[in-house]
Amino acid sequence: MKFQIDRDELLRGLGRIQGIVERRGTLPILSNALFQVREDGITLAATDLEVGVTATLAAKVTKTGAVTLVAKKLYEIVRELEETELTFSLEEGSRVRIDSGKARFSLLSISPEEYPSIPSGDGVNFVEMEASLLAEMVDRTMYATSTDEARYNLNGVFMELTEDKRLRCVATDGHRLAKIDKTPQKPLEFLSKGIIVPRKGVGEIRKLCDETDATVELGLRDGFLIVRRTGLTLSCRLIEGEFPNYRQVLPDDPKVRLLVDRERLLHAVRRISLLAHERSRGFRLAIEDGVLELSANNPDLGEAVEQLEIDYSGKRVETGFNARYMLDVLGSMISKEVSLELTDELAPARICPADDPDLLAVIMPMRL
Amino acid sequence: MSRTILHADMDAFYASIEQRDRPELRGRPVIVGGSSARGVVAAASYEARKFGVHSAMPSVQAKQRCPDAVFLRGDMAKYKRESQRIFKIFRRYTPVVEPISLDEAFLDLTGTERLLGPPTQVAQKLRTEVLKEIELAVSVGIAPVKMVAKIASDSAKPDGLLEIAPDQVRSFLDPLPVSRIWGVGRVAAERLEALGIHRIGDLARAKDTSLHERLGDWGVAIARLARGDDERDVEPYREAKSYGEENTFESDVMDSRVLQRTIQTHADAVARRLRRDELRAGGVVLKLKLARGLGQGRYPILTRQTALSIPTDDGRELAAAAIDLLERLRLKEPVRLVGVSAIRFCTADNEQLELPSIAMVDPLRRSLNHAMDQINDRYGDHALHRGDGPVDRAGLTFQIKRGED
Cβ contact (<8 Å) for B309 and A246?
A: no
CATH homologous superfamily, domain A251-363: DNA Polymerase III, subunit A, domain 2 (3.10.150.10)
Rounded Cα–Cα distance for residues A176 and A285 (Å): 17
Count the neighbouring beta carbons within 10 Å of the beta carbon of residue A79: 11
β-bridge pairing A349-353 and B279-290? unpaired
Q: What is the pLDDT of residue A321?
A: 96
pLDDT tens profile B110-169:
988 888 899 999 999 999 999 999 999 999 999 999 999 999 999 999 999 999 999 999
Cα dihedral A106→A110→A111→A117 (10° resolution): -130
pLDDT tens profile B116-125:
899 999 999 9
Task: List the catalytic residue out of B18, B82, B98, B104.
Answer: B104
Cβ-based neighbours of A135, under 8 Å, separated by 6 or more: A206, A209, A210
Please report which confidence band the pLDDT of residue A159 belongs to, taking 50, 70 and 90 as the band edges. Answer: very high
Asked about B163 being catalytic, the answer comes back as: no
Q: What is the pLDDT of residue A252?
A: 73
Please report which confidence band the pLDDT of residue B389 belongs to, taking 50, 70 and 90 as the band edges. Answer: low
Say what percent of chain B tops pLDDT 90.
49
Cα dihedral B323→B329→B335→B337 (10° resolution): -60
The answer to whether B183 and B222 have CB atoms below 8 angstroms apart is: yes
pLDDT reading at B402 higher than 50: no
- End-to-end, the C-alpha distance of chain A in Å comes to 66
- Which whole number is the average pLDDT over A15-21? 92
Q: What is the pLDDT of residue B395?
A: 35
Which CA distances in Å does B96 have to B6, B80, B86, B244, B402? 11, 20, 15, 26, 20
pLDDT reading at B359 higher than 80: no
Cite the DSSP H helix spans in B102-199.
113-116, 119-134, 146-156, 169-173, 186-194
Nearest C-alpha in A relative to B345: A279
Say what percent of chain A tops pLDDT 90.
80
- Which whole number is the average pLDDT over A133-159? 92
Nearest C-alpha in A relative to B309: A148
Q: What is the pLDDT of residue A303?
A: 93
pLDDT reading at B388 higher than 70: no
- Which whole number is the average pLDDT over A161-190? 95
Q: Which of A73-77, B210-214, B243-247 is the most confident on average?
A: A73-77
* B248: enclosing H helix or E strand: strand B243-253
Burial category of B91 from C-beta neighbours within 10 Å (exposed 0-12, middle 13-18, buried 19 and up): middle
Chain center to CA of B229: 24
pLDDT tens profile A282-291:
999 999 999 9
DSSP bridge partners of B342: B243, B284
Cβ contact (<8 Å) for A249 and B355?
A: yes
Residue A176 carries which DSSP code?
E
Cβ-based neighbours of B159, under 8 Å, separated by 6 or more: B11, B127, B137, B138, B139
β-bridge pairing B70-72 and B30-33? parallel
Q: Which of A76-80, B210-214, B276-280 is the most confident on average?
A: A76-80
pLDDT reading at B260 higher than 60: yes
**DSSP symbols for B13-38:** HHHHHHHHH-GGGTTS-EEEE--STT
Measure A252 CA to nearest chain B CA, in Å: 14
Cβ contact (<8 Å) for B360 and A174?
A: yes
Rounded Cα–Cα distance for residues A365 and B355 (Å): 9
- Which whole number is the average pLDDT over A20-42? 87
Find, among B98, B201, B203, B185, the residue nearest to B146 by Cα.
Answer: B98
The chain-wide mean pLDDT, for chain A, equals: 93
Measure A321 CA to nearest chain B CA, in Å: 8
Please report which confidence band the pLDDT of residue A52 belongs to, taking 50, 70 and 90 as the band edges. Answer: very high
Candidates A175, A280, A346; nearest CB to B350: A280
Which CA distances in Å does A137 have to A36, A249, A333, B30, B155? 34, 20, 11, 72, 71
Rounded Cα–Cα distance for residues A347 and A188 (Å): 34
- Which whole number is the average pLDDT over B218-223? 89
Burial category of A120 from C-beta neighbours within 10 Å (exposed 0-12, middle 13-18, buried 19 and up): middle
Beta strands per DSSP E along A215-322: 215-221, 224-229, 232-237, 256-261, 282-288, 291-298, 302-309, 317-322
Rounded Cα–Cα distance for residues B157 and B140 (Å): 8
Q: What is the pLDDT of residue A298?
A: 85
pLDDT tens profile B34-52:
777 777 888 999 999 999 9
pLDDT tens profile B28-37:
999 998 777 7
Candidates A150, A282, A364; nearest CB to B350: A282
Total CB pairs under 8 A between chain A and B: 73
pLDDT reading at B106 higher than 80: yes
Q: What is the pLDDT of residue A300?
A: 79
Count the neighbouring beta carbons within 10 Å of the beta carbon of residue A359: 24
The answer to whether A77 and A99 have CB atoms below 8 angstroms apart is: no
DSSP bridge partners of B140: B8, B161
Q: What is the pLDDT of residue B401?
A: 35
Bond before B158 cis per omega within 30 degrees:
yes
Interface of B with A (CB under 8 A): 282, 306, 308-310, 317, 320-321, 324, 346, 349-360
Nearest C-alpha in A relative to B283: A148
Cβ contact (<8 Å) for A280 and B346?
A: yes
Q: What is the pLDDT of residue B349?
A: 62
pLDDT reading at B333 higher than 70: yes
Q: Which of B358, B361, B362, B366 is the best mutation test for A, with the most CBs of A within 10 A?
A: B358
Same fold, A2-114 and A127-246: yes
Please report which confidence band the pLDDT of residue B238 belongs to, taking 50, 70 and 90 as the band edges. Answer: low
Category of B392 on φ-ψ map: left (φ > 0), alpha (ψ -120 to 50) or beta: beta
CATH ID of A2-114, from 3.10.150.10, 3.40.390.10, 2.60.40.10, 3.40.50.2300: 3.10.150.10
Please report which confidence band the pLDDT of residue B56 belongs to, taking 50, 70 and 90 as the band edges. Answer: confident
CATH number of this structure's domain A127-246: 3.10.150.10
The answer to whether A64 and A41 have CB atoms below 8 angstroms apart is: no
Q: What is the pLDDT of residue A238?
A: 97
pLDDT reading at B400 higher than 60: no
Q: What is the pLDDT of residue A135?
A: 96
B368-392 burial: b if 16+ Cβ within 10 Å, else e: ebeebeeebeeeeeeeebeeebbee
pLDDT, greater one: B306 or B404: B306
Question: pTM, whole model, 2 decimals?
Answer: 0.63
pLDDT reading at B1 higher than 80: no
Q: Which of A147, A172, A175 is the best mutation test for B, with the most CBs of B within 10 A?
A: A175
Cite the DSSP H helix spans in A52-154.
71-80, 131-141
- Which whole number is the average pLDDT over A68-95? 93
Q: What is the pLDDT of residue B242?
A: 87
Burial category of B394 from C-beta neighbours within 10 Å (exposed 0-12, middle 13-18, buried 19 and up): exposed
Apex B191 CA angle, B215 and B187, nearest 5:
120
* A332: enclosing H helix or E strand: helix A323-332
- End-to-end, the C-alpha distance of chain B in Å comes to 36
Cβ contact (<8 Å) for B359 and A174?
A: yes
Hey, where are the domains in chain A?
A: 2-114, 127-246, 251-363
- Which whole number is the average pLDDT over A120-133? 94
